[in-house]
Structure 1
Amino acid sequence: MSLVKLTIKGISYSQTQNGAYALILNEVDGERKLPIVIGAFEAQSIAIALEKEIKPPRPLTHDLFKNFADRFDIVVKQVIIHKLVDGVFFSSIICERDKIEEIIDARTSDAIALALRFSAPIFTYKNILDKAGIYLQMNSLEEEKTDTEKEGSLSDLEIFGDLEDPVSNVEEYASNSLEELYSKLDEAVQNEDYEKAAKIRDEISKKES
């Protein structure tokens, strides 16, 4: 089976349903998107890895795994989303140590969070993309469902508005100056409120663009 390389398009979440997140992957040589429902912690970890300017004062779980792997010369070579069963994605992390390759099963959200930290490519099989990939219209609103416990396709959680940005913007920081925003950003990071920090960072990016 042929592999298809994926990139991360972004993360979106519902303004009305807590814990409802979707990770949107995009095929590199095509237009199809692969939406995967993930948990709040994993969404936060992925968003922080995407947002290079937010540095947690203490390592998150995936950062700790990266530090542990670096110490023992373990490298994550690639991540493969290799199976889709009843709307749930299954992934493998391909690791290497002393030129010996190992394959480790992982939840897709964890695998991608680690792939970002190791700058490792993300792949899926063509038949999975054929089955679950969609041509997603950005900025479209879908109906919301309440089941967000498992990682699955967008059919498991038919919501998510603006998918252009890694984390949805809010207008509550629009009136703040850049100096105030940077101060709030530092405070949010020190308090380990990374969701708030990501929103502030989005507003800073808007003002600096």
Structure 2
Amino acid sequence: MSLVKLTIKGISYSQTQNGAYALILNEVDGERKLPIVIGAFEAQSIAIALEKEIKPPRPLTHDLFKSFADRFDIIVKQVIIHKLVDGVFFSSIICERDKIEEIIDARTSDAIALAIRFSASIFTYKNILDKAGIYLKGNPTETEHAAEDIDNILSDPETFGMNEESNQSSNTYSKYSLSELNELLEAAVENEDYEKAAKIRDEISRRDD
């Protein structure tokens, strides 16, 4: 299976699930985006890593991991989002020490937070991008929105947790037909509601299985 390189486009606050954020990954040499719903702590950690000038007074968990790895000469070479099951992405961290390569399973949000700190490349397989990627039309205000989203993350950290209400929300789209889901997906993308788009995309993916 061929790998597709991804870059980080930005982070969007969830309007429907309290304390959740959508991490938007860009296909390099392509137009597709890969939205991944993550928790507030991980979103904050990713945002801080992207903002090179922001230094927390004490190291965050991912900063501690980086310091630990540096001390023992462990290098994170790349991150691969290798599996998608029921809307959940699975990732691997490819590490190297003394020219010996190791593969470590990780949550995608943690893997990407570390990839930024190690300047490691992020990849996914083409079949995952074919299944879960969405197209987003260009918008001249996207940069402004991304900056606002990061400000929201840093100024309003919340605890992320799944509850009955959020579980019910994930089942909201089961009553729609496939054509209606595609229309809802297009509308969500147009409105830059990436977290909603990710849920609709997951429902469409379940229908395709």
Runs of 4+ aligned structure 1 residues displaced above 6 Å come to none
Displacement of 1:76 in angstroms is 0.1
Any unmatched runs of 5+ in structure 2?
Answer: 158-209
Cα separation, 1, equivalents of 2:41 and 2:2: 32
Cα separation, 1, equivalents of 2:90 and 2:128: 11
Cα separation, 2, equivalents of 1:62 and 1:133: 27
What does residue range 1-209 of structure 1 map to in structure 2 within 5 Å? 1-14=1-14, 17-137=17-137, 164-168=145-149, 195-196=154-155
Cα separation, 2, equivalents of 1:18 and 1:73: 39
Q: 1:6 is matched by which residue type in structure 2?
A: L
Cα separation, 1, equivalents of 2:7 and 2:150: 21
Cα separation, 1, equivalents of 2:81 and 2:144: 21
- Contact 2:45–2:60 (CA under 8 A) maintained in structure 1: yes
Backbone CA RMSD of aligned residues = 2.5
Displacement of 1:34 in angstroms is 0.2
Cα separation, 2, equivalents of 1:167 and 1:39: 18
Which TM-score applies when normalising by structure 2? Answer: 0.68
Any unmatched runs of 5+ in structure 1?
Answer: 140-160, 171-192, 199-209
SS at match of 1:111: helix
Call closer, same or farther: CA 1:57–1:194 in 2, change over 3 Å: farther
- Identity of paired residues, percent? 86
Cα separation, 2, equivalents of 1:169 and 1:122: 20
Cα separation, 1, equivalents of 2:65 and 2:59: 9
